[in-house]
Amino acid sequence: MAPRRPLATSEQTIRSSAPEFPDARVVETYLAQLAYEAGLSPATRVSYRTDLRNLSLWLQQSNKRLITCERKDIERFVHEVGEWLAPASLSRMLSSFRGFFKWRVQEGYSDKSPVEDFQGPRFARSLPDCLHVEQVNTLLAAASGKEPRQLRDLTMIEIAYSCGLRVSELLKLRESSINFRNRTVRLIGKGGKHRIVPFGKCAERALREWLKSGRLRIAGVTKEGKPVSLPKEAEDYIFLNRRGKPMTRDGFT
């Protein structure tokens, strides 16, 4: 038997313009429809594509396709990768499969999903790690100062800690989402879901100072001492990099 192809990681993106696996076009059709209807985030889309690519390549070795595979094929695949894949990763992969095969039925490719009532692995859920008060104070002390980048970093820590934000939520914050009167922020989280979260007085103080004294000067000042004009991409994003553009996850880390 030919050796199995290695599974791709979720960081590896697949270009639809040059399919590298048999079912690439049908997968891209499914993902495009899902992104339109459910507001799928780019990161989730990459993960789903990677999971379906791995299954497609595995099926290819038995001359089978995603459109026609059966439950026994999925069971064999899960049994094989389950020997080394973490239960949480396997559970997430099965979630990707459920969505695709449900779509396969809706589009008339088959009468029944091969993963209907399919039981995934059971694993103990652990609480996420969190910073202790001393660790937060250390971060705040490291970001103290009046330079634009220090004001920005301090504000990011205060807001993230006060509101319990994900990095993606923090970086997407806009001035129009802040309500200083009620001391709340309107967020768009996973799946495009909206929620309103309160923030504390320390976060408010840091945010006001950053917007008043730091944000306009983050890209530097001219010889006359005036702030360098921010690029159009800045719009009303709250947190900007040293070029005056919206911060990215890479810039955050």
Task: Encode pLDDT of 61-79 as tens digits.
Answer: 999 999 999 999 999 999 8
Q: Where are the beta strands (DSSP E) in the chain?
A: 178-179, 184-188, 194-198
**Are the C-beta atoms of residues 66 and 100 closer than 8 Å to each other?**
yes
User: Which pLDDT score, from 0 to 100, does residue 230 have?
Assistant: 87
CB 187 within 8 A of CB 165: yes
**CB of 112 closer than 8 Å to CB of 105:** yes
pTM above 0.85, yes or no: no
Kindly state the tokens that stand for 132.
Answer: 């202790």
Please write the tens of the pLDDT for every residue from 122-180. Answer: 655 666 677 788 888 888 888 888 899 999 999 999 999 899 888 888 998 999 999 99
Confidence of residue 9 (pLDDT cuts 50, 70, 90): very low
**38 vs 209, more confident:** 209
Identity of the residue numbered 77: F
Q: Tell me the domains of the chain and their CATH numbers.
A: 24-106 (1.10.150), 133-252 (1.10.443.10)
Position 123 scores a pLDDT of: 56
> What is the C-alpha to C-alpha distance for residues 148 and 215, in angstroms, rounded to an integer?
7
